[in-house]
Amino acid sequence: ELPDFDDSGVERAPLARTALEAAHLAQLLGSPPVVRAGLPVELPGGGAGLPCFWDGRANGWRVTGAESEEVSTYDESELVPLPIDANHVLAMLPTPPKEDRVQSALTDLHELGALAAGDTPSVLGAACLKLPVDVPLGRLVLLGWTLGCSVDAVVLAAALALAPSCDVLRTPFNTKSSLDQHEMKLLRQAVEVRRRADGGTFSEPLTVHSLCMEWLRSGGGCLGRVPDRVPWRQVCHARLWTQFTEKVIELAEALLRLLPHSSPEASSLYKLVQRARGSPKARDNPAEFTGQPRRLAALLAWALAPLGFVAVGQTPALYGGT
- Which percentage of the chain shows pLDDT scores above 70? 86
pLDDT band at residue 155 using 50, 70 and 90 as cut-offs: very high
Residue 252 pLDDT more than 90?
yes
Length of the chain: 322
- Please give the pLDDT value at position 123: 94
* Each residue's pLDDT tens digit, 164-219: 788 998 876 666 778 788 888 888 888 899 899 888 888 899 999 999 999 999 88
Strands 71-74 and 60-65: antiparallel
- Which percentage of the chain shows pLDDT scores above 90? 36
Please tell me the number of Cα atoms within 13 Å of 243 on its side-chain side.
18
The better pLDDT of the pair 12, 23 is held by: 23
Decide: 145 and 153 in contact? Cβ < 8 Å. yes
* Each residue's pLDDT tens digit, 279-321: 876 556 655 677 788 888 888 888 887 665 444 444 444 444 4
* Each residue's pLDDT tens digit, 51-102: 888 888 888 888 887 676 778 888 888 888 888 889 888 988 888 888 899 9
* Each residue's pLDDT tens digit, 44-57: 877 888 888 888 88
Residue 26 pLDDT more than 70?
yes
Tell me the C-alpha distance between 62 and 76, whole Å.
10
